Structure 1
Amino acid sequence: MIIYNVTTNIHESVHDQWMIWMQHKHIPEILATGLFSSARLVRVLVEEEMGGVTYSVQYETESKETLQRYYQEHAPSFREEGARLFGDKMLAFRTELELIGDYKY
């Protein structure tokens, strides 16, 4: 399993608008591509020197090939929409993770 992790720092002035957009539009639209099986939105519990609030969204997909399809077919338009709506009040970086083991107690 591959986890596509998007970490975003969002400025307080657009935080509420961003959160509504993420939960009710952006994440559902990404899941609707059919390329991810689930998504998890979490808050990063650190205070950034630059301010803002930091979140991570973790999208799960079955393979690196499926993630590449997302990059080619969908990522540009999703990234453009975020930039258009939030501009420099949103800073994001992306990480690809490979699940090695899943342990629960």
Structure 2
Amino acid sequence: MVLYNVTVGIDIDAEEEWLGWMKSKHIPAVMDTGMFIEYKIFKVLSQEEEQSVSYSIQYFAQTVDKVVEYLNNHAPKLVEEHRNRYKDKHVAFRTLLEEV
């Protein structure tokens, strides 16, 4: 099992709209690629900045190859859409983990 984790820091003033959009549009679009078998979303509880809040969106895949295929063939469009929609209101970083 492989975990592709995307951690997003979103400005508090955009949080509610962003979370709704993630749940109704972005995450379903990622899952519709067929590269992942499950996802989970968590709110990060330890916050150092008061102007933003962080979320961890976790996508689970059977193999690294599925994640690579997602990154090469699907992610550029989806990432660009997110970037354009929340320009200057978010930061994101990605981590790939393998279950041991």
Same topology, TM > 0.5: yes
Instruction: Give runs of aligned pairs for residues 48-87 of structure 1, distance below 5 A.
Output: 48-49=48-49, 51-87=51-87
Deviations 1:70-101 (A, max 9, x none): 0111110111011110001010000001111x
The residue identity in structure 2 corresponding to 1:66 is K
Which residue in the other structure is 2:95 paired with?
95
Instruction: Give runs of aligned pairs for residues 2-81 of structure 1, distance below 5 A.
Output: 2-49=2-49, 51-81=51-81
Which structure has the greater CA radius of gyration? 1
Which residue in the other structure is 1:103 paired with?
none
Identical amino acids, percent of aligned pairs:
39
Name the CA distance, whole Å, in 1 between partners of 2:41 and 2:96: 16
The secondary structure found in structure 1 opposite 2:86 is helix
Report the TM-score when normalising by structure 1.
0.91
Question: Segments of 4+ in structure 1 off by > 6 A?
Answer: none
Deviation at 1:50, TM superposition (A): 6.3
5+ long unaligned stretches in structure 2: none
Aligned length: 100
The residue identity in structure 2 corresponding to 1:99 is E
Deviation at 1:40, TM superposition (A): 0.1
Name the CA distance, whole Å, in 2 between partners of 1:23 and 1:61: 19
The secondary structure found in structure 2 opposite 1:76 is helix
Report the TM-score when normalising by structure 2.
0.95
